[in-house]
């Protein structure tokens, strides 16, 4: 660890400063302002969070500090990196600045690392190109850094390729790479967005430690208010290219002044009152919550002991095993878990998109996997589906009306006029103007597309709606609108809902039954109230403790609780 | 979660988006219309289209087709006395051949034949290639194996050999342009089939295909309604390139005596027939050569224009004028075209963005960023997992203009 120098700045020095930064993008179709006059300072030893939704210009801001904007970007104003004015700087000077003064941690660790080079090669590259260390010395430094960021057996593993590390480890490597040349300021652009919550919590812990140990300044770009509460000292909120509000994390999260910040915070789903440590209350309230399960007559979907196999090169991979749960009329059952837990696999099996290896999937008493041909089609009519990615779930060549009417066309329901009438009703139900019927998906935003997806799912009046991460690709404020709409529609149409999500706070708002999955198996299941507020299993507790809440004080307590859980 | 009665001052993205949608009065544009708009702006392609249409019209109307007489007064089949050694004149625009036949009429009939062959090859090859490629990509497994192995056979057996074998026993209908066109189409589908298969393999993983399957749509419906229309860019561009290649292939085959044979005629055959006159009557060589050049070149330019129209992000063409204007006078100096044009820049690309958020100018900024950044692989499926901010301007500096994936 001796090779890891503390950066030679004192706490409180300004390491990154934006003065009236303006960025315009120029294209054939004119110029568009991405950042409209931004003022922001990052001091050594502090974390400044830059928060905003899509199109707020937060990523553009961070790239301007690195001098990495595309050639059609016009940058004006001042960007000071440890006293060097970056705007208009020559490329070779900029290169000298990168890694030694300012470094970046990217969102997607898999694409930030080159898959065909060993970790060693990639880590020593910047040391060598900045004439800081060569050969064995460079490798020694890199190994020390990897140890520092928590890669076990670093001397050996440094010879491996990125794919041989897990997602969390890859992000640690990316962080180590950012640190190789001892930068004074690090820009972390959504560093944990691509990671599971438990891994996210660990990576955030690491970043916090590094900030304290090395005294670097961190500009944290994120959309996640929980991450902000967990990490940030000061917060700046951007909306449509403008800085609408800035202040300390307590000021912003507890007493937001600007209406945008207020609305943004109001849209963040919160999961509170989780009994992680005090087991005493569990008994009474759990039993009480358990009683609220629906009656057998209202049973819509029964999943019984289902196993699902994937064919892989080396044989068969069991993606899910022994999964059993029920979905009741007007009820919502949520499948939660991290990536690889098999939650989406189960949902796909319910939709009939992948075959089951054993077990029963009964909808209205019929076992779906055993149905053939026409019977299967009729049974499927009862199931509607909403997918995760609104951009991919609508055929770009279909007008919105045709998208919504497609299920009716496939099942030959009604005349053309009937279908159009129904499509208009459905679009009205999801609060879209009925003239969108002639528009095309590319003219709509992500949230609007997702509403079209919901309208399509409801067009045959399904008894069961399968929603596979329907809001995870959306901004929080848009997510709030879509979730609220789902709730209203369920009350109106009375369908049962199988809701797949990784976001426990969303699930808490929507579901009345929760099934927690891990590695293809059910860890814990039962009423939402019991699972999410009085969890019994360690894994569920860990999941709950790892999800950050947008409240700095509460988050500090949770963080400590989580550290205790891990011990 | 949101308080619907609170402030109405557009402080939420969802509201901004809805306000934008309600406020947009631009006529909805389908992808086809957007592509057409962009094609119209591609000058070389537009000029080429005009030239090609003129060539087709002249070739058909001048000497007529299928017994219907045209406006050209001279019967090109009749021999007569050579005027002025058969050089081009006011009476015989393209001159006369060594037997005194009118060469304009001969070239026009050759052009007709060559065009028929070219388009037949284009149509047959495209229909076969698209269907077989889509079947292979959609069903995978043994269907894929069988179709692609057959394609491999067409790749390894030289076209000349197939043509020579067929030409050996040729007589009557066999050596007409119609037969040659269909035959060449039947043997030249393999390349397109590979491309379409690759595209379908990636398209079939899209969620709209899953959605269609989940609602019980048949495989045929999915292939015909969802997969092929979304692969149409690849298909159309390659169809035009196949047409251009077919013009040259027909020339080569006819020149070698394997293609069209008398009494039918084609441009290649004309060149072959009069190759010996090159020194004495060079126009007998130049005119058919010029026609081949015009047709092949203009079809190629049209293909080029189509490719640009389907994939506007290729080449990152930003008008220098706009960059300078913005630099000198700020963004307000740049002329901003209509909403429809702006939509044209961002959409209609077969490439889908992850959860695009079109809120006022933000979306256009996003387009600008992406247009310059160029997707390294247009078909990469959107990132799964927890991309709550999938709609971010997502400026990934790793993908510079150099790692552009050629899409067709």
Q: pLDDT digits over B262-291, tens only?
A: 777 788 888 888 877 777 777 788 888 888
Q: Of A216, A189, A236, which is closest to residue A49 (Cα–Cα)?
A: A236
**Roughly what angle, to the nearest 10 degrees, separates helices A197-214 and A538-546?**
50
- DSSP for A462-481, written as a single string: -SEEEEESTTTTS-HHHHHH
pLDDT at residue A540 greater than cutoff 60: yes
Give the confidence band of B390 by pLDDT, cuts at 50, 70, 90.
very low
Specify the 3-state DSSP secondary structure of B132. helix
CB contact under 8 A, A381 and B216: yes
pLDDT at A281: 52
- For residue A27, what are the β-bridge partners? A30
Chain A residues in contact with B354 (beta carbon < 8 A): 389, 391-392, 473
In a domain, B135, yes or no: yes
How far is B266 from B252, CA to CA, in rounded Å? 11
Tell me the DSSP string of B336-360: ---HHHHHHHHSS-SSPPSS----H
Looking at the domain assignment, is residue B95 inside a domain? no
Rounded mean pLDDT, B74-92? 75
Interface mutation vs chain B, best among A189, A351, A384, A395, most B CBs within 10 Å: A395
Contact B357 A26 (CB under 8 A): no
Q: Positive or negative CA dihedral for B387, B388, B389, B390?
A: positive
Give the position of tokens 């994937």. A310
| Residue closest to A344 by CA, chosen among A319, A375, A312 | A319
* List of E strands, B79-126: none
The alpha carbon of residue A78 and the mean position of all alpha carbons in its chain are separated, in whole angstroms, by: 32
Does B27 or B91 have the greater pLDDT score? Answer: B91
Q: pLDDT > 90: what percent of chain A?
A: 20
Q: How many beta-carbon pairs below 8 A join chains A and B?
A: 352
Confidence of residue B25 (pLDDT cuts 50, 70, 90): low
d(C-alpha A9, C-alpha A82), whole Å: 9
* Whether the Cβ atoms of residue A180 and residue A131 lie closer than 8 Å to each other: no
pLDDT in tens, A16-73: 999 999 998 887 667 788 888 889 999 988 999 999 888 788 888 988 888 888 888 8
A340 vs A454 pLDDT, higher one: A454
Binary contact (B31, A442; C-beta < 8 A): yes
The pair of structure tokens assigned to B76 is 């090109």
DSSP class of residue B406 equals P
Confidence band (pLDDT; 50, 70, 90) for A373? confident
Q: How far apart are CA A471 and CA A468, in angstroms?
A: 9
Kindly tell me if the per-residue pLDDT of B149 is higher than 90: yes
Query: Which residues from chain A sit within 8 angstroms of residue B329, using beta carbons?
Result: none
Tell if the CB–CB gap between B211 and A433 is shorter than 8 Å: no
What is the ipTM for the molecules in this complex? 0.79
Distances (CA, A) of A348 to A382, B131, B336: 15, 28, 45
C-alpha A186/C-alpha A193 separation (Å) is 17
| Residue A287 burial (CB count, 10 A) | 10
| Residue located via tokens 């990639």 | A122
Residue B42 in any domain: the answer is yes
Mean pLDDT lowest among A226-240, A513-527, B199-213, B337-351: B337-351
Contact A196, A338 (CB under 8 A): yes
How many angstroms separate the most distant Cα atoms in chain B?
A: 95
Q: Which chain B residues contact residue A195 at CB under 8 A?
A: 386
CA–CA dist B250, B292 (Å, integer): 10
Nearest-angstrom CA–CA distance, A340 and A249: 34
Query: What is the maximum span of chain A, computed from C-alpha positions, in angstroms?
Result: 77
Q: Using an 8 Å Cβ cutoff, are B48 and B299 in contact?
A: yes
Domains and CATH numbers, chain A: 13-267 (3.40.50.300), 282-395+451-534 (3.40.50.300)
**CA separation for the pair A477, B256 (Å, rounded):** 70
Contact between chains at A397 and B31 (C-beta distance less than 8 A):
yes
Q: Do B13 and A259 touch (CB under 8 A)?
A: no
Asked whether the predicted pLDDT for residue B4 surpasses 70, the reply is no
Rounded to whole angstroms, the Cα distance separating A128 from A134 reads 6
More confident residue, B347 or A513: A513
**Is A250 part of the contact surface with chain B (CB cutoff 8 Å)?**
no
What global pTM score does this model have? Answer: 0.77
Question: In 3D, which of A474, A470, A454 has the Cα closest to residue A384?
Answer: A454
Beta pairing class for A358-363 and A299-312: antiparallel
CB contact under 8 A, A447 and B14: yes
| CATH code (residue B203) | 1.10.3720.10
| Inter-chain residue contact A442 with B372, CB threshold 8 Å | no
CA B276, B280, B281, B286 torsion-angle sign: positive
Q: Which two tokens stand for residue A544?
A: 């709950």
Contact flag A260-B11 (C-beta cutoff 8 Å): yes
Between CA A240 and CA A34 the distance in angstroms is: 7
Peptide bond before residue B263 is cis, with ω within 30 degrees of 0: yes
- What is the percent of chain A with per-residue pLDDT over 70, rounded to a whole number? 93
Which pLDDT score, from 0 to 100, does residue B246 have? 87
Q: Which residues of A touch B215 (CB under 8 A)?
A: 380-381, 385, 406-407, 410-411, 460
- Which chain B positions have a beta carbon within 8 Å of A74's beta carbon? 323, 326-327, 331
Between B86 and A358, name the one with better pLDDT. A358
Q: Does A194 touch chain B (CB under 8 A)?
A: yes
Number of CB atoms found within 10 A of residue A554's CB? 15
Distance CA A403, CA B212 (A): 10
Kindly give, in sequence order, each residue whose CB lies less than 8 Å from that of residue A310, ignoring residues fewer than 6 positions away: A316, A317, A318, A319, A345, A354
B87-103 tens-digit pLDDT: 777 777 777 777 778 88
Q: What is the token pair recorded at B70?
A: 């045209």
Please, what is the average pLDDT of chain A?
85
pLDDT mean across residues, chain B: 72
Instruction: Confirm whether B130 is domain-assigned.
Output: yes
CA distance A319 to A353: 14
A179-210 pLDDT, tens digit per residue, is 888 898 999 988 888 888 888 888 898 888 88
> Into how many domains does chain B fold?
1
B312 falls in which pLDDT band (50, 70, 90)?
low
CB–CB of A555/A232 below 8 Å?
A: no
What pLDDT is attached to residue B196?
94
Lowest mean pLDDT among A376-390, A423-437, A499-513, B60-74: B60-74
Residue-wise pLDDT tens digits, B42-75 = 888 999 999 999 999 988 888 877 777 778 777 7
B333 is a domain residue: no
**CB contact residues (below 8 A), chain A span 204-243, against chain B:** 223-224, 239-241
Q: How many helices (H) and strands (E) does chain A have?
A: 23, 20
B126 Cβ contact partners less than 8 Å away, ≥ 6 residues apart = B189, B192, B235, B238, B239, B242
Contact A30 B335 (CB under 8 A): yes
Q: Which residues of A touch B317 (CB under 8 A)?
A: 28
Structure token pair of residue A559: 């963080």
Question: In which order are the strands placed within the sheet that holds A299-312?
Answer: A315-328, A299-312, A358-363, A366-367
pLDDT at B185: 87
Angle between helices B232-256 and B103-139 (to 10 degrees): 130
The per-residue pLDDT for B78 is 75
For the sheet containing A521-527, what is the strand order? A383-386, A464-468, A496-501, A332-336, A513-518, A521-527
Q: Are A169 and A199 in contact (CB under 8 A)?
A: no
Domain that holds residue B150: 33-64+102-317
C-alpha separations of A349 from A519, B211, B318, B386 in Å: 16, 13, 47, 21
Tokens 């860990």 label which residue?
A542
* Tens-place pLDDT, residues A409-443: 988 888 889 999 999 999 988 888 888 888 888 88
Q: Which residues of B touch A56 (CB under 8 A)?
A: 362
Contact A478 B357 (CB under 8 A): yes
Residue B327: pLDDT over 70: no
| A372 in contact with chain B, both atoms CB, cutoff 8 A | no
Q: Identify the residue whose tokens are 């690709």.
A: A473
Q: Rg of chain B over CA atoms, in angstroms?
A: 27
* Nearest neighbour of B12 by CB, restricted to A26, A28, A263: A263
- Low-confidence winner among A168-172, A518-522, B113-117, B269-273 (lowest mean pLDDT): B269-273
A108: left (phi over 0), alpha (psi -120 to 50) or beta: beta
- Residue range B302-316: mean pLDDT, rounded: 71
The whole-number pLDDT of residue B6 equals 35
B377 occurs within a structural domain? no
How sure is the predictor about A472, in pLDDT bands with cuts at 50, 70 and 90?
A: confident
Which of B319, B364, B384 shows the shortest C-beta gap to A32?
A: B364
Set of chain A residues whose Cβ sits within 8 Å of the Cβ of B398? 106, 111-112
Helix (H, G, I), strand (E, B) or coil at A17: strand
Give kind and range of the element (H or E) at residue A363. Answer: strand A358-363
Which pLDDT band holds residue B403 (cuts at 50, 70, 90)?
very low
């Amino acid at each position: 660890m001796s090779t890891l120098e503390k950066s030679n700045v004192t706490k409180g020095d300004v390491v990154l400063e934006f003065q009236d930064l303006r960025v315009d993008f120029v294209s054939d179709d004119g110029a568009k302002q991405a950042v409209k006059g931004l003022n922001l300072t990052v001091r050594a030893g502090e974390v400044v969070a830059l928060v905003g939704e899509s199109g707020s210009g937060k990523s553009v801001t961070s790239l301007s500090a690195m001098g990495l904007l595309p050639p059609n970007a016009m940058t004006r104003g001042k960007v000071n990196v440890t006293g060097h004015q970056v705007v208009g700087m020559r490329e070779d000077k900029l290169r000298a600045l990168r890694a030694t003064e300012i470094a970046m941690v990217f969102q997607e660790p898999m694409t930030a690392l080159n898959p065909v080079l060993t970790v060693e090669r990639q880590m020593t590259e910047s040391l060598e190109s900045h004439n800081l260390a060569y050969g064995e010395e460079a490798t020694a430094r890199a190994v020390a850094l990897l140890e520092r960021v928590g890669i076990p057996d670093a001397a050996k593993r440094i010879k491996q390729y990125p794919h041989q590390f897990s997602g969390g480890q890859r992000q640690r490597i990316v962080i180590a790479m950012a640190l190789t040349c001892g930068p004074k300021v690090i820009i972390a652009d959504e560093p944990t967005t691509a990671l599971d919550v438990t891994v996210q919590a660990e990576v955030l812990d690491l970043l916090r430690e590094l900030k304290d140990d090395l005294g670097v300044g961190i500009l944290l770009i994120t959309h996640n208010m929980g991450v902000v509460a967990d990490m940030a000292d000061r917060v700046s909120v951007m909306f449509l290219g403008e800085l609408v509000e800035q202040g300390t994390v307590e000021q912003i999260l507890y007493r937001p002044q600007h209406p945008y910040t207020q609305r943004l915070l109001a849209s963040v789903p919160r999961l509170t009152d989780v009994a992680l440590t005090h087991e005493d209350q569990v008994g009474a309230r759990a039993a009480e919550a358990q009683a609220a399960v629906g009656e057998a007559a209202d049973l819509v979907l029964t999943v019984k002991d289902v196993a699902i196999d994937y064919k892989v090169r080396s044989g068969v991979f069991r993606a899910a095993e022994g999964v059993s749960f029920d979905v009741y009329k007007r009820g919502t059952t949520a499948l939660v878990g991290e990536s690889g837990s098999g939650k989406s696999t189960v949902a796909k099996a319910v939709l009939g998109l992948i075959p089951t290896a054993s077990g029963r999937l009964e909808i209205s008493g019929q076992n779906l996997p055993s149905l053939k041909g026409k019977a299967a089609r009729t049974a499927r009519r009862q199931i509607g589906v909403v997918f995760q990615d609104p951009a991919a779930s609508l055929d770009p060549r279909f007008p919105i009306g045709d998208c919504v009417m497609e299920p009716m066309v496939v099942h030959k329901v009604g005349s053309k006029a009937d279908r159009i009438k129904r499509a208009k009703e459905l679009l009205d139900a999801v609060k879209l103007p009925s003239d969108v019927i002639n528009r095309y998906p590319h003219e709509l935003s992500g949230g609007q597309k997702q509403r079209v997806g919901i309208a399509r799912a409801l067009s045959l009046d399904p008894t069961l709606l399968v929603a596979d991460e329907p809001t995870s690709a959306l901004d929080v404020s848009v997510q709030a609108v879509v979730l609220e709409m789902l709730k209203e529609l369920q009350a109106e149409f009375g369908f049962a809902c199988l809701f797949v999500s990784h976001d426990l706070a969303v699930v808490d708002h929507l579901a009345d039954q929760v099934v927690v999955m891990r590695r293809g198996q059910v860890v814990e299941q039962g009423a939402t109230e019991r699972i999410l507020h009085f969890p019994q299993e360690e894994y569920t507790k860990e999941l709950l403790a790892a999800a950050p809440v947008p409240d700095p004080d509460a988050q500090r307590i949770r963080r400590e609780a989580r550290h205790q859980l891990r011990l | 979660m949101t308080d619907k009665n609170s402030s109405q001052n557009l402080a939420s993205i969802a509201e901004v988006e809805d306000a934008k949608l309600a406020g947009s009065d631009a006529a909805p544009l389908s992808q086809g219309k957007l592509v057409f708009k962009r094609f119209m702006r591609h000058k070389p392609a537009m000029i080429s289209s005009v030239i090609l249409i003129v060539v087709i019209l002249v070739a058909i109307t001048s000497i007529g087709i299928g017994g219907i007489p045209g406006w050209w007064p001279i019967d090109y089949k009749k021999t007569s006395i050579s005027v002025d050694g058969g050089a081009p004149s006011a009476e015989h625009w393209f001159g006369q051949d060594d037997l005194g036949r009118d060469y304009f009429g001969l070239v026009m009939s050759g052009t007709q034949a060559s065009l028929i062959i070219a388009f037949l090859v284009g149509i047959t090859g495209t229909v076969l290639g698209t269907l077989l490629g889509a079947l292979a990509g959609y069903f995978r497994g043994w269907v894929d194996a069988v179709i692609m192995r057959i394609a491999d056979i067409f790749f390894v057996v030289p076209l000349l050999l197939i043509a020579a074998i067929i030409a050996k026993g040729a007589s009557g209908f066999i050596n007409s342009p119609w037969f040659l066109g269909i035959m060449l189409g039947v043997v030249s589908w393999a390349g397109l089939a590979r491309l379409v298969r690759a595209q379908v393999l990636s398209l079939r993983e899209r969620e709209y295909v899953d959605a269609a399957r989940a609602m019980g749509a048949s495989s045929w419906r999915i292939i015909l309604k969802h997969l092929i229309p979304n692969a149409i860019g690849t298909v159309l561009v390659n169809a035009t390139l196949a047409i251009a290649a077919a013009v040259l292939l027909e020339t080569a085959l006819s020149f070698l005596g394997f293609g069209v044979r008398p009494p039918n005629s084609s441009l290649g055959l004309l060149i072959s027939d009069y190759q010996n006159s090159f020194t004495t009557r060079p126009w007998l060589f130049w005119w058919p050569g010029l026609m081949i050049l015009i047709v092949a070149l203009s079809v190629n330019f049209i293909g080029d224009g189509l490719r640009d129209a389907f994939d506007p992000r290729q080449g990152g063409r930003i008008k220098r004028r706009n960059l300078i204007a913005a630099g000198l006078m700020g963004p307000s100096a740049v002329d901003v075209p209509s909403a429809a044009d702006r939509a044209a820049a961002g959409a209609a690309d077969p490439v889908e963005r992850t959860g695009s958020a079109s809120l006022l100018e933000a979306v256009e900024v996003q387009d600008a960023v992406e247009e310059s950044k160029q997707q390294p692989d247009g078909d990469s499926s959107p990132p799964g997992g927890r991309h709550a901010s999938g709609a971010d301007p997502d400026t990934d500096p790793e993908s510079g203009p150099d790692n552009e994936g050629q899409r067709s």
